[in-house]
Amino acid sequence: MMRSIALRLRTAPRRFPERLARFSTAMKTTSTDPLSLKVFEDLRDMKDAGTFKTERVIISPQRAKISVENRKEEVINMCANNYLGLSSDPELIEAAKEAMDTHGLGLSSVRFICGTQDIHKELEEKISNFHQTEDTILYPSCFDANAGFFETVLTKEDAIISDALNHASIIDGVRLCKAARFRFDHMCMKSLEENLIAAKDARIKMIATDGVFSMDGDIAPLDEICALAEKHGAYVFVDECHATGFIGPTGRGTPELKGVMDKVLVITSTLGKALGGATGGYTTGPAQLISLLRNKSRPYLFSNTLAPCVVGASLVVFDRLSKDTSLRDKLEANTTYFREAMSGYGFEISGDPACPIVPVMLGDARLAAEFADEMLERGIYVIGDVAAIGAMMMMRMMRMMRTMRDEDDLV
């Protein structure tokens, strides 16, 4: 079905101008003030390029099959971060309700004033045990965890060596920091070593990388990165948002998969994807480093504490993941099945074969937007993604087979 849609859309007259009609009022301006003109031009350029984003409205819980506004029948969801199918898990929902009954809706405070409850400390301990680290600090999101790390830990005497395709939250976190910045070609160890040599005079050399790259489905070669870090006296920082809970034999992420759990200095990750999909993030690592973050990390010091309902549900998640790998085992089997089936239909699939992020390359933003609309009409919910790679724009349409579902739903 998907192959026939792709062929038909490539040869059919473009519907894109008709799609823009929905935004006709936004495309007109008579104002001459500079801000209005800039906003108008930015919106116009995105619409002309086919990269303007609209939000579909879901009227059901997040799950493998969802209900979408103005559609009678459910559609198969192929683009959520709900890797383990826990976003609407009854046990987690009950745990969230119980936590609200016992600990309230929220704390109305940051952690260090009057926002730390016993369950927050319990969750931090469980996360540390899961990752086999010394201590953990909770944040409202992993974006906040990344934003609060580099500025706190590094100064102008230090250096950050960052993968060229790192997540926006790492990039923004690095921008807040005064350390010297180096960027190595995506997952290229030759480029990494060249940059480590260039940064040899820095007091602290911090290598920053995603564990799993969310746009590309690539898995970082952490074993090779850690080997170079050891050779050049550097430290390794890993964002594990798209790995925690399902990458590695027991779901402990990319460090476990690559056998370097004892060599990575610090891990940041999220509670908002595989681990229930609500909100929240964390940084886990050496106790003294975490203590420094508690005292100086601005997103931690100036943001409200994580809501008790999220903490209560997350406690159950880590208990389950620590005892049972059946969810990640099922996801692994689904990933293999889906990748092989899509390749068999002639689609160009990129990313690591073990990764449940499955980019389907269509090569054209407008085609991908139309493809996604056509797929929705046929009962499959997908979204086109555009990623900038050097001077190229590449489309990841139907980005990932992320959640639990039967094989009959996959192809």
Per-residue pLDDT tens over the stretch 262-276: 999 999 999 999 999
Q: ∠62-68-69 over CA atoms, to 5°?
A: 135
Give the pLDDT of residue 314.
98
- Global pTM value: 0.88
Give the pLDDT of residue 28.
60
Residues whose CB is less than 8 angstroms from the CB of residue 282 and which lie 6 or more positions away in sequence, other chains included: 124, 127, 136, 137, 138, 139, 142, 145, 268, 269, 270, 271
**Residue of 5, 297, 309 lying closest to 176 (CA atoms):** 297
- Which of 41-50, 127-136, 305-314 bottoms out in mean pLDDT, i.e. has the lowest? 41-50
Tokens of 46: 């995105």
Higher pLDDT, 19 or 392: 19
In SS3 terms, 197-234 reads as: HHCCCCCCEEEEEECECCCCCCECCHHHHHHHHHHHCC
Task: Tell me: pLDDT of 121 over 70.
Answer: yes
Separation CA 381–CA 55 (nearest Å) = 12
Give 6-14 contacts, CB < 8 A, sequence gap 24+: 6/347, 6/362, 6/367, 6/371, 9/367, 9/370, 9/371, 9/374, 10/367, 14/366, 14/370
Separation CA 99–CA 400 (nearest Å) = 32
Tokens of 33: 């003030």
| Strands 205-210 and 235-239, sheet pairing | parallel
Query: Could you report the per-residue pLDDT of 345-373, keeping only the tens digit for each?
Result: 998 888 999 999 888 888 777 777 788 88
- Strand, helix or coil for residue 392: strand
**Mean pLDDT in residue range 325-330:** 95
- Strand, helix or coil for residue 363: coil
Tell me the angle at which helices 326-344 and 308-323 cross, rounded to the nearest 10 degrees: 80
Separation CA 393–CA 61 (nearest Å) = 33
Active site residue ranges? 214, 242, 273
Query: Could you report the per-residue pLDDT of 385-395, keeping only the tens digit for each?
Result: 765 432 222 33
Separation CA 284–CA 129 (nearest Å) = 10
